[in-house]
Amino acid sequence: MKKKKLRIGIYSLTSCSGCQEQIMDLEEELPEIVKAVDIANFEMVKKLDEKAKVDVAFVEGCVAKAEEIERVREIRRKCGFLVSMGTCATYGGIPAIRNLHEGWKFEKLVYPDDSMRLSAIKASPLSDYVKVDYFIRGCPMNKLEFLEVLKSLAAGKKPRELNYAVCVECKKRQVPCLLVKFLKGEEGGGICLGPITYAGCNAICPANGVPCLGCRGPFEDSNVESYVQMLEKHLKGEDVKRMLSTFAGTSKKLIKFV
C-alpha cells in the first residue's frame, strides 16, 4: 500500500517572516520537499487552505495582536503536531522587548498614530496559548535544522532535542574561544552568550569571529546565575540587561535578570 504523505501547513503570526525566508532559501531541497510532503498552506508563497487539517503545523512569529490568540488556537485544533518555528514563536523574540518597557514607549515612537496599534497586546510565545510539541529556535531559524525536523517527522519520528550550549559546537569546530580571549584581554575577544545558549546553529557566529548574541535562547540546564555574575564583573548593569533581553529576555530563565 502506498504510504500516505505527511500533510503540513506553514503559518505566520507577528514576525519579520525571516523563518519562512529560510524555507524559501532551501533552493535545492524545495522541489524534493514539495514532492515528499503535501503542503496545505504556506503563507509566504500562497494561502492555500488556512483552515485545512494538517499532520504538522509550523508556526512562525509570536502572538502580539488580539486576533492572533484565536488564530493560533484554531491552528492547534487543526493539527496533530505543532512546531514553534524560530525565536519569536518560542520566546516572543524581538517583538517581546516592548513587554519589558513601561507603557510600550517604543511602540508609541514607531506607531505614533493610535489607530495603527489598536489590536496590539503583550507579545507572547505560542506556548502561552497552546500546547507546542517541538521548538526550532533561532532568529531566524536555521534552514538545515528545519529540514532535519521535517525529515524526522516525515519518517514518523520525533526530532531530537539539543539541550546543551553553543560552546559545545564551538569546541567541535575547534574555534578559539572569544570569551576566553576577552577575559585574557587578547585581541579579537568579546562577551559571548554561547555558554548559556541552545546549540543547533553549529556556532556560526563565533566561527566567524562574532560573539554569540543568544538568538536561540537559554538552554534548559544553563547556569544563567553564574554567567550573569561573570558578566557583571565586566559590564554595567544596563548593558547586561540589554544583552540578555535582545532575543529571549522574557523567557523564564532570563526574565529576572532583565
The binding site for ligand SF4 (CB under 6 A) comprises: 138, 166-167, 170, 175, 177-179, 192, 194-195, 197, 201, 203-206, 212-216
Distance CA 56, CA 77 (A): 11
Between residues 6 and 94, which has the closer beta carbon with respect to ligand SF4?
94
**127 neighbors 92 (Cβ within 8 angstroms):** no
Across the strands, what pairs with 82? 57
Biggest CA pair distance of the chain: 65
Taking the least distance from each CB to ligand SF4, the nearer of 9 and 92 is 92
CB of 256 to ligand SF4, least distance (A): 21
Q: Which is nearer to ligand SF4, 20 or 87 (CB)?
A: 87
Contact 62, 129 (CB under 8 A): no
Handedness of CA 8, 90, 98, 106 (dihedral sign): negative
Shortest reach from residue 42's CB to ligand SF4, in Å: 24
Q: How many CB atoms lie within 10 A of CB 175?
A: 17
First to last CA, the chain: 56
Pick the closer one to ligand SF4 by CB: 130 or 215: 215
Minimum CB distance to ligand SF4, residue 218 (Å): 10
Beta-bridge mates of residue 39: 8
Q: Which is nearer to ligand SF4, 86 or 95 (CB)?
A: 86
Q: How far, in Å, are 85, 95, 129 from residue 72 at the CA level?
A: 13, 17, 8
Q: How far is the CB of 76 from ligand SF4 (least distance, A)?
A: 27
Residue 193: CB minimum distance to ligand SF4, A? 6
Cα angle, residue 33 at apex, residues 29 and 34 outer, rounded to 5°: 120
Question: Parallel, antiparallel, or unpaired: how do β-strands 63-65 and 120-124 relate?
Answer: antiparallel
Question: Residue 67 CB, nearest distance to ligand SF4 (Å)?
Answer: 30
* Residue 120 vs 204, nearer CB to ligand SF4: 204
**Phi and psi angles of residue 125, each rounded to the nearest 5 degrees, phi first:** -70, 160
Residue nearest ligand SF4 (C-beta atom): 194
Pick 23 or 166: Cβ nearer ligand SF4: 166
Treating both helix axes as pointing N-terminal to C-terminal, what angle do 237-248 and 224-234 enclose, rounded to 10 degrees? 140
Q: CB of residue 107 vs ligand SF4: minimum separation in angstroms?
A: 25
